Structure 1
Amino acid sequence: MKYYQLLLIAMLFNSCQYFDKQVPSEKELLQKELKSINWNEVDEYPSFVDCNKMDSKTERQQCFFQYLTTLIQEKIMVDTLSIMYPELDTIQVLVTVFPNSKLKFEPQFPKDSVAYDTIKIDSILHARLIDFPKVNPAIKRGIPVKTQFVLPVIIKVE
C-alpha cells in the first residue's frame, strides 16, 4: 500500500510539468504562418471555363495561357499592326487578372524603342483587347487574388 502511495505522489509531481507548457502567442503563430506561405505562387491559376475541365493544375495553367494567347492574337490579327510595323513580330503584353475577374493589358516595350510609335500601338491594343470571356481569378488560400504575367504575343504568323 505504501508503494502505491509513493507511486501516486510521484505521478502527481511529474504530471504537473504537463500543465506548465507555454502557449505560443498570437503574434508568434501569425509570424510562423506568414513565413510558411509562398507569396510568389498561387494555389490555383486564373482560368477560363473551358480550362476548368482539365484534371491537373499544370494542364489548367497551360490551357489558360494558350487560350488567352490565341484570343489576343486573333483580336490583333484583324488590325494593321503587322503592316504598319513590319519589323515588329512579337509584343510582350503584361496581363493583369484582378480578383473581380477583370482583365487589364499593357504592352511592354523596350526602353529604347524608337523604331515604332508605342503610344499608337498601345491605343490599338487597348481598342482591340476587349470583350473577353469570363476569367476565374487566381486563388491563394481560398481567396481570389490579383495576378500578373507577361505573355509574348506573336503578330507575324508565317
Structure 2
Amino acid sequence: MRKIILILLFLSLLFNSCQYFDKQVPSEKDLLQKELKAINWKEVDEFPSVVDCDKIENKTLRQQCFFEIMTQLIQEKLSVDTLSILYPELDTIEVKVTIYPNATMQFEPQFPKDSVAYDKIKIDSILKARLVNFPKVNPAIKRGIPVKTQFILPVILKVE
C-alpha cells in the first residue's frame, strides 16, 4: 500500500511539474527591448561633478554645487573680456555646456531665435578663447557608464 501511494505521489509530481517546462522563454532580443524601454534616458544616475563637489553625499546638493561652480568659473573667465564693452546691453548670456564621456567640455552661446543684434560668430569665438583651462570634470554616469550631458547655464556678465 505504501509503495502504491509513493508511486502515485511520484507520478502526480511528474505530471504537474511538466507545466514548468511548457512555458515559453523570452528571446534575448525581447528581454533587451524590454530593458531598454524601462530605462529613463532623460536622466542620469550621477550628474557631472568637480573635485570640490565630490565629497557631498546628497545627489541634489552635489548637482547644485556643480552648477554653481561652473557658473562662477564661466562668469570669472568672461568678466575680464570685451563682451561687456562690445555689447553693453548684454547683461546675461546663456551658455550651453556639453560634457562628453571622456571629460572634455564644449561651450556654445545660446541666442533667442529672432536675435540679430549680436554678432554670434564673434561672441562664439570670444567664448571659445576664454573658456579654457577648466578644472577636471567627472562626466555624468548612467548605469555605471560615463555619458554625454548637456545643460544651459545663465551667465551674468555684468555684476552691479
Q: TM-score range by the shorter chain?
A: over 0.9
Q: Which letter does structure 1 place at the counterpart of 2:74?
A: I
Counterparts of residues 66-105 of structure 1 (less than 5 Å): 66-105=68-107
Q: Distance between the aligned counterparts of 1:134 and 1:5, measured in 2?
A: 72
3-state SS of 2:65 partner: helix
Q: How big is the shift at 1:16? A: 1.7
Question: Taking every aligned residue pair, what percent have the same amino acid on both sides?
Answer: 75
Q: Distance between the aligned counterparts of 2:18 and 2:119, measured in 1?
A: 78
Counterparts of residues 3-152 of structure 1 (less than 5 Å): 3-152=5-154
3-state SS of 1:148 partner: strand
Q: Which letter does structure 2 place at the counterpart of 1:123?
A: S
Q: Distance between the aligned counterparts of 2:35 and 2:133, measured in 1?
A: 40
Return 5+ residue gaps in structure 1 as ranges.
Answer: none
Range with bigger deviation, 13-22 or 137-146: 13-22
Between the two proteins, the alignment pairs up a number of residues equal to 158
Return 5+ residue gaps in structure 2 as ranges.
Answer: none
3-state SS of 1:133 partner: coil
Range with bigger deviation, 52-61 or 67-76: 52-61
Q: Distance between the aligned counterparts of 1:19 and 1:71, measured in 2?
A: 62
Considering only aligned residues, what root-mean-square deviation do their CA atoms show, in Å?
A: 1.2
